[in-house]
Amino acid sequence: MTPVELSRTVLRAVRRAVDEGELSVSVPERVVVTVPGGGGCGDYATNVALQLARPAGQPSLRVAEILRPYLAGADGVADVVVTGPGFLNISLGGSAPAGLVEEILRDGPRYGYAPSAPSPSAESRDAGELVELSCPGEVRAVVVMDTVARILRSQGAAVRTRCEGEIVPQWADILGVRVDERSGQEQAAFSRYAVRPVPAPADPLPLGRDAARWALLHPAGHDRPRITDEHLVQRESNPLFLVRYAHARTRALSRNAADLGFTAEPGVVAGTRELDIVLADHPRVLARAAAHRAPDRLARHLVTVADAVLALLPAVLPLGAEKPAAAHRARLALAAAAGTVLAGGLSLLGIDAPDHL
C-alpha cells in the first residue's frame, strides 16, 4: 500500500465513522500520512484525529479511538495503535506490496512526480505554481538553485531562475547548472524565493560534476559543506558512492538474472518492511523537498534507500543448484524498483547514475 492509497484508506475510515453517526464532521478532502515520529510505532502515522477534534467537539484521543477500529479492519492494515494526544500509528502487512513495485517500474525515473509535471529540465506555463528563484553569484547557491528548480518542476511548478551576480562559465560546463537570466524584471504572478545557503569554503570544481554537486547538496543549506576528496572515495562510508553503488548493484542483478534465464515479476517479498516504507515514501520526500526548497532532504533519502536495498540484494539470485522461483523474480522486481528510485533521485540532483561501477 502506497502512502496515497493509505491516505484514501484513512479517509474511508473517517467517512464510515461519520456515516455510522459516531463523528459529526465534514470529511476532509485529504489527510497526511507520514513516517512515525518520536514515540510513534508501526509503518505510518496520521494526525487526522487531531485535525478533526475541534470540529467534532470531542478530545482528539477520543476521535482516534473512534477511528481506530474502522481503520484496523481495512484491507492491507495489520494493526493500528493510538499514541500521544491521538496519533494513529498504522502497521501494514509484512510483505512488499506488489502494487507499489508495479507503480515504480511503470513510472520509471518519474516515480514521485506530480501527474502533470513536465520534464524537470523544462518549463511549463500551464503548471499550477509559478516560482522565481534567485541567488547570489556563489557556486553553492547556484547549484542549490539549479537543483531546487529541477525538484519544483518535478512537482508540476513552472520555475524561472536568475542570478544576482556573475556566473563563472565552468559552473555550467563542469557542474551542469542552468540559470535562465542574470537579472530581470519581477513578475507579480511568480512567488519569489531567494536561495542563500552557507557558501562553499573552497572551489568544488576539482571534484568533478558528480562529487562536487553531492558535496554542495547533501548538507542542509544552513550547514557548511565539506569540499574534500572524501567525496571521491570508493567505499560505502562515502554516501555518494553508497548510493551509486547500490544503484549499479541493482542493474548488475538484472543482467545476471537475464543470464540465468529469468526476469523481474512483482510479487510478495517478505521481510523487507524498511525498504517498502522508504520506496513508498519517495513521493512525499520529493514534495517536501520542493515545498521547503531543500534538496538535502532528497539526498539523505537516497542514502536511506541505498542502505535498505543493499540488505536485500544477497537474496535476489538463486544460490548453487537452486532454480529461479517466483520469490526470486519478486525480489528482483523490488531491487529494480529501488534502483529506479535511486536513478531518478540522482538525476534530480544533477548527478549521473552509472550502471557499472
List strands edge to edge, sheet with 191-194. 158-163, 130-135, 191-194
Q: What is the pLDDT of residue 300?
A: 96
Could you identify the residue written with the cell 550547514? 223
d(CA 136, CA 337): 38
* The total number of residues written for the chain in this structure: 357
Q: What is the pLDDT of residue 78?
A: 82
Q: What is the pLDDT of residue 40?
A: 81
Burial bucket for residue 89 (CB in 10 Å: 0-12, 13-18, 19+): buried
Report the amino acid identity of residue 278.
Answer: V
Distances (CA, A) of 156 to 35, 121, 131, 138, 150: 24, 12, 11, 27, 10
- Residue 316: helix, strand or coil by DSSP? coil
Report the amino acid identity of residue 198.
Answer: V
d(CA 217, CA 106): 28
Report the amino acid identity of residue 157.
Answer: A
d(CA 61, CA 87): 8
d(CA 60, CA 54): 8
Q: What is the pLDDT of residue 76?
A: 77
d(CA 320, CA 322): 5
Grid cell in block for residue 200: 562553499
d(CA 248, CA 246): 6
Mean per-residue pLDDT pooled into runs of 10, the chain (357 residues): 82 92 90 82 89 94 94 83 92 72 95 75 56 95 97 94 91 94 59 96 97 98 96 96 98 96 89 86 93 96 96 91 91 97 98 94
pTM given for the model: 0.75
